[in-house]
Amino acid sequence: MPIDFSPERWQKIKDTYSAWWSGELDRPIIPVIVPGRALDRPEPPAPLLSQVTCADFSWSPEQLVDRIDYEYSRYTLLGDAYPWFNLDCFGPGVVAAMMGAKLDNSSGRVWFWPPDDRPIQDIHLILEPDNIWLQRIKNFCAAAMERWQGQVLVSMTDLGGNLDIPASFRTTEKLLMDLIDYPEEVERLTWEAHECWHKAYAAINEVLQPVNPGYSDWSGIYSDQPSYMLQCDFSYMISPKMFGRFVLPELQATCKRLPRTFYHLDGIGQIPHLDQILSIPELDGVQWIHGDGKPDCAHWPEIYQKIHAAGKRIQLHTGDFNAIDAVTEQIGTANGIQYQMIYASPEREPEIRAKLASYGIYN
């Protein structure tokens, strides 16, 4: 049994997001995945591509794609869900590995480490066209395009963000000191990383397009134009003044280079930077991540009201339908809201369909 998603449903997704991006959709976007469809074929031997398995090159890209195809054939896609493979499985900030940083997934999660210990003045960031990680990702994307022929959207890999990339070559602790001791060198590395990031983005898209049915990233937000969820997790540890010098200019430049952009506001330590982030005219939206141990998305009205007042879109990621309803009430409209993904058990499918219908969403 193949993946259950027709060209007609793809067109509906494209039309829905077109209305959402243009501000004409009067409801939230709500994707739902229900696993559990019975299949008439055996499970392939290859593992699911993930941060646990990404360094195992014993499996061909074609075998990895076949395993993903099997998994996605088990899904019932409801609401605004579409077949989307999240290519964040090489870790957050993999462009650093494409420039020579060490990729380490021995813990089950991917981390990046400096290739050696050298002064910041001696570090120069250059994208390596023949780098094994860049080639592995491109080869996987090529196999996916050949297999799925546009039925499944393969997202851009998690390239990383801003100061997070230089930190992979200096360590976080040393880069924090560099901000004070060698600010000009940090700025130089930031712009070198910026150029490498965009070269990697273009190189991967050369493989994905034009077969890929659109653009996305680890957020799952669909776009018919190049887009990305920008970030700088490092900024959790710096002041708004430092953010304005070391982070904001690069964000502004990338927002001008890409047609559509969101920002990943990760944790309460980044709230002091929100006003500067929202001041970027070209930025389209914000994904607020409240952090472990904090209330879900329904409980941050001041954040969402500020984002909405700035004319930006909102992506929610926790709280299910309750959060969607709460934020809709807090900002006074459902326009511009997207929920990342709801995963539901088969037992909940009737309830989910009824709830989606209350928003005018039918499958």
Looking at the fold, whether 101 and 216 belong to one and the same domain comes out as yes
User: Which of 223, 244, 276 lies at the terminal end of a domain, its last residue?
Assistant: 223
Residue with tokens 């200096």: 170
Rounded CA separation 113/165 (Å)? 10
C-alpha angle 322/324/326, rounded to 5°? 65
Total number of residues shown for the chain: 363
Looking at the fold, whether 280 and 335 belong to one and the same domain comes out as yes
Which structural domain range is residue 131 located in?
84-223
Per-residue pLDDT of the chain (363 residues; tens, 9 = 90+): 699 999 999 999 999 999 999 999 999 999 999 999 989 899 999 999 999 999 999 999 999 999 999 999 999 999 999 999 999 999 999 999 999 999 999 999 999 999 999 999 999 999 999 999 999 999 999 999 999 999 999 999 999 999 999 999 999 999 999 999 999 999 999 999 999 999 999 999 999 999 999 999 999 999 999 999 999 999 999 999 999 999 999 999 999 999 999 999 999 999 999 999 999 999 999 999 998 888 888 899 999 999 999 999 999 999 999 999 999 999 999 999 999 999 999 999 999 999 999 999 998
Residue 1, pLDDT score? 66
Residue 277, pLDDT score? 99
CATH number at residue 230: 3.40.50
Looking at the fold, whether 172 and 249 belong to one and the same domain comes out as no
Looking at the fold, whether 152 and 252 belong to one and the same domain comes out as no
Does residue 29 lie in a domain region? Answer: no
Does residue 268 lie in a domain region? Answer: yes
Number of structural domains, the chain? 2
User: What does the pLDDT look like over 238-271, one tens digit per residue?
Assistant: 999 999 999 999 999 999 999 999 999 999 999 9
Does residue 178 lie in a domain region? Answer: yes
C-alpha angle 29/34/38, rounded to 5°? 145
Looking at the fold, whether 151 and 229 belong to one and the same domain comes out as no
Rounded CA separation 363/356 (Å)? 9
